[in-house]
């Protein structure tokens, strides 16, 4: 069963781990809502439906024909993401009356982990970094990609509707875009005589909605992508989450915080923040993107 990090932190009795998870989900909007399926082993192999079985109408006495679905077998491998947080014992002893030095250093390492996941979630490409996993830009199927034109083009509200219609069955759980694209949607909505709907996220944060679909920001979506002759283009994603759709993968326990202890070569203690994680797109119809978005 898929579990979000926000729910996982409620189940943990480890104060340090809870603090790390809280920092991660505060830093990364996508990690607040992306569900994770915990898997035993280093990879998950699953079947992605290519074509559904056929059915037909028959007369009495007709010979029935069999129509089987077709699948593509996909394997998602867990990758190792993390880093060490070293705290100088002198600083820990003499400065923690002002601020807990260990908590501050581990907090910064947690922020870096969230940033790294956000970047890889969008831009991950195993052909350029085999140690990472493929992100949604790389994983999006060709039939699920829309464009504003051969050289890009100014965003329109009709194109946003077309993008959300690519998610089926059901509807998208969110739109993911850059800050510039969000400003453009705001401007277009105001020009049309309306405003984006305002709501609240799971942490009480203010969210804007396109219809009933929340808009999330990812700062690793570049506004300097090249489409045709223009190098000032961006991309907007529509996503549906959950098992059977788009989900994160993790080793049991999700994030881990491991106390390594005292170091031999310097007067410091080390804490390791690590995560065995990946991404699985169970259905290609749960991910769509609109490229060539210009301001």
Q: Answer yes or no: is 85 within a domain.
A: yes
Based on the domain organization, do 102 and 175 belong to the same domain? no
Based on the domain organization, do 77 and 124 belong to the same domain? yes
Omega before 196 within 30 of 0, i.e. cis: no
In this predicted model, what pLDDT tens digit does every residue of 75-115 receive, in sequence order?
A: 999 999 999 988 888 887 777 665 677 788 888 899 999 99
Based on the domain organization, do 39 and 156 belong to the same domain? no
Rounded Cα distance between 207 and 174, Å, is 11
Q: Answer yes or no: is 64 within a domain.
A: no
Report residue 184 as tokens: 């453009």
Q: Answer yes or no: is 57 within a domain.
A: no
Rounded to the nearest integer, the mean pLDDT of the chain is: 89
Based on the domain organization, do 201 and 267 belong to the same domain? no
Examine the pLDDT at 147 and tell me if it is beyond 90: yes
Rounded Cα distance between 219 and 114, Å, is 12
Based on the domain organization, do 37 and 114 belong to the same domain? yes
Based on the domain organization, do 180 and 162 belong to the same domain? yes
Q: Answer yes or no: is 149 within a domain.
A: yes
| Single pTM value for the model | 0.89
Q: Answer yes or no: is 62 within a domain.
A: no
Q: Answer yes or no: is 60 within a domain.
A: no
**Residue 277 confidence class, pLDDT cut points 50, 70, 90:** very high
Based on the domain organization, do 121 and 253 belong to the same domain? yes
In this predicted model, what pLDDT tens digit does every residue of 40-84 receive, in sequence order?
A: 888 989 888 777 888 999 999 999 988 888 888 889 999 999 999
Examine the pLDDT at 203 and tell me if it is beyond 80: no
**Residue 199 confidence class, pLDDT cut points 50, 70, 90:** confident
CA dihedral 223, 206, 99, 103 (to 10 degrees): -70
Range of the domain at 46: 5-52+70-134+244-281
Which CATH number does the domain housing residue 46 bear?
Answer: 3.30.2400.10
Q: Specify the higher pLDDT residue, 165 or 106.
A: 165
Q: Answer yes or no: is 194 within a domain.
A: yes
Q: Answer yes or no: is 65 within a domain.
A: no
Based on the domain organization, do 198 and 99 belong to the same domain? no
Based on the domain organization, do 144 and 262 belong to the same domain? no
Give the mean model confidence (pLDDT) for residues 21-43. Answer: 88
- Give the chain's domain count: 2
Examine the pLDDT at 216 and tell me if it is beyond 60: yes
Based on the domain organization, do 262 and 130 belong to the same domain? yes
Based on the domain organization, do 176 and 218 belong to the same domain? yes
Based on the domain organization, do 166 and 236 belong to the same domain? yes
Which CATH number does the domain housing residue 188 bear?
Answer: 3.30.1930.10
């Amino acid at each position: 069963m898929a579990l979000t990090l926000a729910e996982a932190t409620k189940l943990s009795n480890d104060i340090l781990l809870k603090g790390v998870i809280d920092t991660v989900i505060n830093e990364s909007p996508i990690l607040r809502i992306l569900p994770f399926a915990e898997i035993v082993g280093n990879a998950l192999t699953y079947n992605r439906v290519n074509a559904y079985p056929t059915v037909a109408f028959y007369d009495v006495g007709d010979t029935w024909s069999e129509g089987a679905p077709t699948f593509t077998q996909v394997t998602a491998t867990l990758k190792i993401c993390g880093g060490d947080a070293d705290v100088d014992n002198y600083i820990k002893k003499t400065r923690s009356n002002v601020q807990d030095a260990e908590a501050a250093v581990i907090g910064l390492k947690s922020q870096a982990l969230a940033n790294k996941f956000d970047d890889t979630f969008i831009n991950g490409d195993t052909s350029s970094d085999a140690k990472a996993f493929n992100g949604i830009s790389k994983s999006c199927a060709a039939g699920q990609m829309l464009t504003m034109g051969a050289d890009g083009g100014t965003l329109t509200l009709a194109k946003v509707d077309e993008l959300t219609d690519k998610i089926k069955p059901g509807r998208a759980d969110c739109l993911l875009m850059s800050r510039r694209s969000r400003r453009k949607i705001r401007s277009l909505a105001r020009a049309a005589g309306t405003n984006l709907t305002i709501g609240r996220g799971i942490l009480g944060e203010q969210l804007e909605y396109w219809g009933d679909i929340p808009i999330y920001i990812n700062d690793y979506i570049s506004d300097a992508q090249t489409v045709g002759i223009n190098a000032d283009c961006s991309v907007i994603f529509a996503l549906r989450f959950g098992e059977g759709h788009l989900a994160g993968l993790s080793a049991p326990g999700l994030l881990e915080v491991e106390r390594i202890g005292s170091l031999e070569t310097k007067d410091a203690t080390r804490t390791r923040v690590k995560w065995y994680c990946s991404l699985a797109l169970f259905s290609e119809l749960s991910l769509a993107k609109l490229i060539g978005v210009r301001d």
